[in-house]
Amino acid sequence: MLQDAPRKPRTSRRNRSQSPRSNERGQNLHLRVPFITRKIPTYDLLGEEALQKIEATADRILAEIGIELREDEEALWLYREAGAKVTEISAQAWNLKFEPGMIREILKTAPGRFTQYARNPANNVEIGGDTMVFAPSYGSPFVMDMDNGRRYGTIADFENLVKLAQSSPWLHHSGGTICEPTDVPVNKRHLDMVYAHMRYSDRAFLGSITAPERAADSIEMCRILFGSDFVNRNCVIMGNFNTTSPLVLDGVTTAGIRTYAEAGQASIHLPFLLGGAVAPLTMAGAVAQCLAESMASCALTQLVRPGAPAVLAGFLSSMSLRSGSPTFGTPEPALGSLVMGQLARRLDMPLRCAGNFSTSKLPDGQAMQQSMMSMMSAIQGGANYILHSAGFLDGLLSMSYEKFVMDCDMAGALHAYMAGIEVNEDTLGFEALAQNGPGEHLFGTDHTLRHYQNAYWDSAMNDDQPFETWSEQGGTDYAQVANQRWKDLLNAYEAPAMDPTLDDALKDFVTRKKASMPDAWY
Amino acid sequence: MLQDAPRKPRTSRRNRSQSPRSNERGQNLHLRVPFITRKIPTYDLLGEEALQKIEATADRILAEIGIELREDEEALWLYREAGAKVTEISAQAWNLKFEPGMIREILKTAPGRFTQYARNPANNVEIGGDTMVFAPSYGSPFVMDMDNGRRYGTIADFENLVKLAQSSPWLHHSGGTICEPTDVPVNKRHLDMVYAHMRYSDRAFLGSITAPERAADSIEMCRILFGSDFVNRNCVIMGNFNTTSPLVLDGVTTAGIRTYAEAGQASIHLPFLLGGAVAPLTMAGAVAQCLAESMASCALTQLVRPGAPAVLAGFLSSMSLRSGSPTFGTPEPALGSLVMGQLARRLDMPLRCAGNFSTSKLPDGQAMQQSMMSMMSAIQGGANYILHSAGFLDGLLSMSYEKFVMDCDMAGALHAYMAGIEVNEDTLGFEALAQNGPGEHLFGTDHTLRHYQNAYWDSAMNDDQPFETWSEQGGTDYAQVANQRWKDLLNAYEAPAMDPTLDDALKDFVTRKKASMPDAWY
């Protein structure tokens, strides 16, 4: 019959649209979740004695070297009231020393796990304990793709990347500054970015932290989106705050932290530790410093509002011995990230750590090799919030469209990894082998037919075809596959529905705020 | 002064040769070892109860379904004498059933760790316990490189690849059939391959297993190289034997196993389990079958010669639900490999498992992403001998020159990973932070100066330079870097010294053996 009608396409457009989605590549409907709950144990690298030494060193750093606080008298007052020993360095800089154990005591009111609400309740994420949340990379000034190379990011890129994130079932969170929208004035960017997250995604996201008033704007926009009462009672936004390593908290950062905490919103407290530059280059020391800095920063939230969600964090990096350049996706920081997981669990605090790091300038073999080294440490170490899960290239200077979709596909594979191995009568499969016996294949066994749809992760992008088929179809490399994929995803993207009144209210807020101040470009 | 002589090359040939090797990229002299001794714990995925269920299922497979042995009456006699219940299936096929525990009892004489000697004693490797040995990929009929694409492997390729392996400080073992030398008659290939390993490498290697007489030739050549007395007393060669899954041992394989074991040489016992095709596609079942098959095969060695080294093994693979094609570097088999590590340790037997697997047809992002997923499971799971550590592409059908050197570089990074994190007063680095205090960089601290040379893995291939520098230097991707690197390594290769008398004796053996039989091409 088919031979009689050779010109008829095998699958008509109509047939395609009727086929269940699970017949498309990479669907894996059984693995889709708003956030991952790990079913595999964490990979615990160090034993009790070594962990105690690291914790004791962190305590000693806080007690004997101290943290330098700059230009925030409100934070100074809070730390001093809590018992910090304050030494004035200058009119706007103070050294704070904390007796061993003091910071840990303050952190006891921080929740071990909390919910960040999304405008689509199906996308609420829980952060802490055995959960894991993937978010796109954060903070690159440049974007790159295979067609146009590297250039400064724009708000159009930013919107594209929010849409790509929303398109992937394997990210759980819209992230924050996916790229810097450098065509928007510095003092107004946060408005466009927060609006884009709210409008083009229906997932949870990060707000602005670059100035306290921008943090306040971010929260204000949440009050429009979620309602003020809801925001007062729940966490709907997070801010990602960097310490100024080594051992400094600057006043813009602490004021931002206070803004989020006062509103009961969550904050992430990240030392970005480039070993040898701003931290010891031995990993035990870097981890001890990371713990000390992040704990001291987290503690401020509890002094502002006990119970406010705070996330311990660490971005560990190495450097090239030759050039002094930072290096990413190397083995030593991967080990350090595993240890950060152990330390966070001992504090019973949520952790942000590691991600898909790379120094490569292209979405090539180096990029994915380095990324995997780093990303495996995040998921095995038990990090709960993984920023930089998609798009990271060029030592974080560039957000890559192609790497973004590559990383998303791998994020899906990690859903299968985190699901672990179920061991029961059915999965042990004795009957599968017994049915036909030695020497007979298992394609047609009841066991195979029962399990074949969900047994294995199905990638949307990897080429598993025979060489000849792959070659006939053009012999493309993975970067080319990714280049086509992000374009297809953007073409197919549909914005999640939003009440037009709400949309207008958000737009109105943005317009009024923008009109209220002149453009600033620094 | 330099500006006065702008045409003088910055580094003359003479200067380069005078510079200490540690100033070249990727040297990492402090990490060089003949084999790795792990300083990090294994990643133990399953708990006691689940492991017992898997072991009980393996025992039940052996007791109730049994193993089919074909065309080897000598092996039949050995298994029967040991207590196997034999049922004749045909004149040359028998079903063997083993009471629960019987195979484990037989395996008690197998060593938990053994030494394979190399012709250079500095390269002897220990296999078992907390050691890890990396060897090149094995068995691809095709080779590929970026210049000439994919073609059948030749003996010239084979020799090149032995030389590339020997050039890398991060492999420990020369492997076996790095590619099939398809231009040499099938019945004579083993002679050229074993000679190439002996002549162009001074590391340990694998011998032939494709026919018992070829196994015997391999061992005979070892008697020339090492002396017969030494071979009688020590393990100098290994054979890598595949079971015929599901649950079959064919006579050519068992005869080969007997040949190695009789000579006191080592053998690897590998079920290649493509889930859904020759094993249950639920990982618990695949692992149980893997254990059953590999144990039954290993047991034969102990029946031939108690104490002969035997390596438990597993090659776990998934398949595409769409095409039925095998898939490699996917998450489920990675989890299974971690469990195989647990099971091998409970048996106190060395393990071969996983490797740098990929289905990609190019040394691209997919290749390295899949490879890393798989390779991390090998090293975290505690596998002791990792075949397929370098060059694996195209679902094992192709050996890639570029991927070979990429994988070697990553194998080096894994040396740093396996070294773990040292925690002591010095590495905790309190003094490093105290020396300059908060807000001051650590570049010049005593601690940094003391540690900067060895603190971080130094890749020979990754590009960590700023984008602008990378771009000015040509903006190459990782595949191009690798393409240049394997050519440079082959150009720089120097064969390890060999006594000419010995070399002549080996050549003479090969010549005589080749002359003794007509070419066979199947």
SS (H, E, C) B190-235: HHHHHHHHHHHCCCECECCCCCHHHHHHHHHHHHHHHCHHHHHHCE
* Burial (0-12, 13-18, 19+ Cβ within 10 Å), B179: buried
Distance from CA of A463 to the nearest CA of B (A): 6
Q: What is the domain-level CATH number for residue B494?
A: 3.20.20.480
Is A108 inside a domain boundary?
Answer: no
Task: Answer yes or no: are the C-beta atoms of B450 and B403 closer than 8 Å.
Answer: no
Residues of B within 8 A of A443 (CB-CB) are 276-277, 324
- CA B188 to chain CA centroid, Å, is 24
**Considering only alpha carbons, which residue of chain A is nearest residue B28?**
A321
Distance from CA of A223 to the nearest CA of B (A): 37
**Positive or negative, the Cα torsion across A216, A220, A225, A228?**
positive
Residues of B within 8 A of A322 (CB-CB) are 25, 458
The DSSP secondary-structure symbol of A518 reads: -
Residues of B within 8 A of A395 (CB-CB) are 464
Does residue A274 belong to the interface with chain B, where contact is any CB pair within 8 Å?
no
Helix, strand, coil shares, percent, chain B, to 5: 45, 15, 40
Residue A339: CB atoms within 10 A of its CB come to 30
Point out the residue among B284, B442, B458 whose CB comes nearest to the CB of A427: B284
Distance from CA of A260 to the nearest CA of B (A): 25
Task: Answer yes or no: are the C-beta atoms of A82 and A96 closer than 8 Å.
Answer: no
Is B479 inside a domain boundary?
Answer: yes
- Can you tell me the mean pLDDT for A68-90? 98
- How many degrees, rounded to 5, is the angle at CA A457 between CA A24 and CA B314? 145
**pLDDT, tens digit, 9 for 90 and up, residues A403-412:** 999 999 999 9
d(CA A473, CA A465): 10
| Residues B80-95: b if buried by 16+ CB within 10 A, e if exposed | eebebeeeeeeeebbb
Q: Do B466 and A359 touch (CB under 8 A)?
A: no
Number of A/B CB contacts below 8 angstroms equals: 427
Distance from CA of B375 to the nearest CA of A (A): 10
Token pair, residue B414, equals: 């894994």
What is the residue whose two structure tokens read 């080749």? B514
**Residue type at position B355:** G
Distance from CA of B395 to the nearest CA of A (A): 8
| CA-only gyration radius of chain A, Å | 24
Domain count, chain A: 1
Q: Do A365 and B370 touch (CB under 8 A)?
A: no
Residue A324 has a pLDDT of 85
Q: Do B150 and A67 touch (CB under 8 A)?
A: no
**pLDDT, tens digit, 9 for 90 and up, residues B316-356:** 999 987 888 899 999 999 999 999 999 999 999 999 999 99
d(CA A395, CA A329): 9
Closest CA relative to residue B442, chosen from A283, A47, A281, A51: A281
d(CA A375, CA A389): 8
Closest CA relative to residue A38, chosen from A339, A440, A414: A414
Which secondary-structure segment (H or E) carries A20? none
Is B461 inside a domain boundary?
Answer: yes
Which secondary-structure segment (H or E) carries B404? helix B401-418
Point out the residue among B60, B362, B427 whose CB comes nearest to the CB of A284: B427
**Positive or negative, the Cα torsion across B178, B348, B346, B271?**
positive
Residue B71 pLDDT more than 80? yes
Task: Answer yes or no: are the C-beta atoms of A319 and B456 closer than 8 Å.
Answer: yes
- Can you tell me the mean pLDDT for A490-514? 98
For B81-119, the DSSP string reads HTTPEEEEEETTEEEEE--TTHHHHHGGGS-SEEEE--S
Q: Do B422 and A282 touch (CB under 8 A)?
A: yes
Residue B170 pLDDT more than 90? yes
Cite the beta strand spans of A262-350 per DSSP E.
266-270, 272-274, 310-319, 326-327
Question: Which B residues 311-330 touch A at CB under 8 Å?
Answer: 318-327, 330
Question: Which A residues 14-73 touch B at CB under 8 Å?
Answer: 25, 40-41, 43-46, 50, 53-54, 57, 60-61, 64-68
- Can you tell me the mean pLDDT for A17-25? 56
Residues of B within 8 A of A452 (CB-CB) are 276, 281, 321
- CA B492 to chain CA centroid, Å, is 24
d(CA B187, CA B510): 12
Residue A22 has a pLDDT of 53
**Residue type at position A57:** T
Q: Read off the pLDDT band of A316 (50, 70, 90).
A: very high
pLDDT-wise least confident of A2-6, B169-173, B324-328: A2-6
- Can you tell me the mean pLDDT for A4-27? 48
**pLDDT, tens digit, 9 for 90 and up, residues B46-64:** 999 999 999 999 999 999 9
**pLDDT, tens digit, 9 for 90 and up, residues B85-96:** 999 999 999 999
By DSSP bridging, strand A125-128 and strand A67-70 are: unpaired
Token pair, residue B263, equals: 């000579």
Closest CA relative to residue A344, chosen from A62, A111, A174: A111
Is B223 inside a domain boundary?
Answer: yes
* Burial (0-12, 13-18, 19+ Cβ within 10 Å), A154: middle
Residue with the bigger pLDDT between B17 and B142: it is B142
d(CA A158, CA B120): 58
Does residue A281 belong to the interface with chain B, where contact is any CB pair within 8 Å?
yes
Residue B242 has a pLDDT of 98
Residues of A within 8 A of B319 (CB-CB) are 456
d(CA B71, CA B90): 10
- Can you tell me the mean pLDDT for A389-396? 98
Distance from CA of B489 to the nearest CA of A (A): 19
Phi, psi of B270, rounded to the nearest 5 degrees:
-110, 110
Residues of A within 8 A of B486 (CB-CB) are none
Closest CA relative to residue B274, chosen from B314, B322, B331: B314
Which of A45, A68, A250, A366 to probe by mutation at the B interface, max B CB count within 10 Å? A366
Residue A284 pLDDT more than 60? yes
The residues near B271 (Cβ < 8 Å, ≥ 6 apart) are B242, B243, B245, B279, B289, B290, B293, B294, B313, B314, B315
d(CA A341, CA A287): 11
The residues near B317 (Cβ < 8 Å, ≥ 6 apart) are B272, B273, B274, B275, B326, B327, B328, B333, B357
Does residue B151 belong to the interface with chain A, where contact is any CB pair within 8 Å?
no
Token pair, residue A167, equals: 């398109």
Q: Do B475 and A429 touch (CB under 8 A)?
A: no
Which of A274, A426, A462 to probe by mutation at the B interface, max B CB count within 10 Å? A462
Distance from CA of A354 to the nearest CA of B (A): 16
The residues near B410 (Cβ < 8 Å, ≥ 6 apart) are A369, B356, B368, B371, B372, B375
Which secondary-structure segment (H or E) carries B249? strand B248-250
Q: For a pLDDT cut of 90, what percent of chain B falls above it?
A: 93
Q: What pTM was computed for the model? A: 0.95
Is A253 inside a domain boundary?
Answer: yes
- Can you tell me the mean pLDDT for A339-360? 98
> Across-strand partners of B316?
B273
d(CA B382, CA B43): 8
The residues near B100 (Cβ < 8 Å, ≥ 6 apart) are B56, B59, B60, B62, B63
For A373-386, the DSSP string reads HHHHHHHHHT-SEE
Is B66 inside a domain boundary?
Answer: no
The residues near A68 (Cβ < 8 Å, ≥ 6 apart) are A89, A93, A94, A95, A96, A247, A248, A249, B437, B438, B439
- CA B314 to chain CA centroid, Å, is 12
Is A73 inside a domain boundary?
Answer: no
Which of A64, A361, A458, A481 to probe by mutation at the B interface, max B CB count within 10 Å? A361
- Can you tell me the mean pLDDT for B243-248? 98
Which secondary-structure segment (H or E) carries A69? strand A67-70
Its domain, for residue A323, covers: 1-16+35-40+113-285+310-338+350-420+457-517
Q: Do B434 and A365 touch (CB under 8 A)?
A: no
> Across-strand partners of A37?
A131
Residues of A within 8 A of B433 (CB-CB) are 61, 65, 246-247, 279-280, 285, 289
What is the residue whose two structure tokens read 């007063």? B425
**pLDDT, tens digit, 9 for 90 and up, residues B414-431:** 999 999 999 999 999 999
Q: Do B428 and A453 touch (CB under 8 A)?
A: no
Q: Read off the pLDDT band of B22 (50, 70, 90).
A: low
**pLDDT, tens digit, 9 for 90 and up, residues B389-419:** 999 999 999 999 999 999 999 999 999 999 9
d(CA A300, CA A309): 11
Dihedral (C-alpha) A157, A159, A162, A166: value to the nearest 10 degrees? -120
The residues near A301 (Cβ < 8 Å, ≥ 6 apart) are A110, A257, A260, A261, A267, A308, A309, A310
Q: Do B421 and A365 touch (CB under 8 A)?
A: no
Closest CA relative to residue A397, chosen from B110, B467, B45: B467
Is B389 inside a domain boundary?
Answer: yes
**Considering only alpha carbons, which residue of chain A is nearest residue B397?**
A467
Q: For a pLDDT cut of 90, what percent of chain A falls above it?
A: 93
What is the residue whose two structure tokens read 């004579």? B188
Task: Answer yes or no: are the C-beta atoms of A386 and A354 closer than 8 Å.
Answer: yes
The residues near B510 (Cβ < 8 Å, ≥ 6 apart) are B191, B192, B195, B221
Residue B183 has a pLDDT of 98
Q: Do A364 and B364 touch (CB under 8 A)?
A: yes
Residue B182: CB atoms within 10 A of its CB come to 19
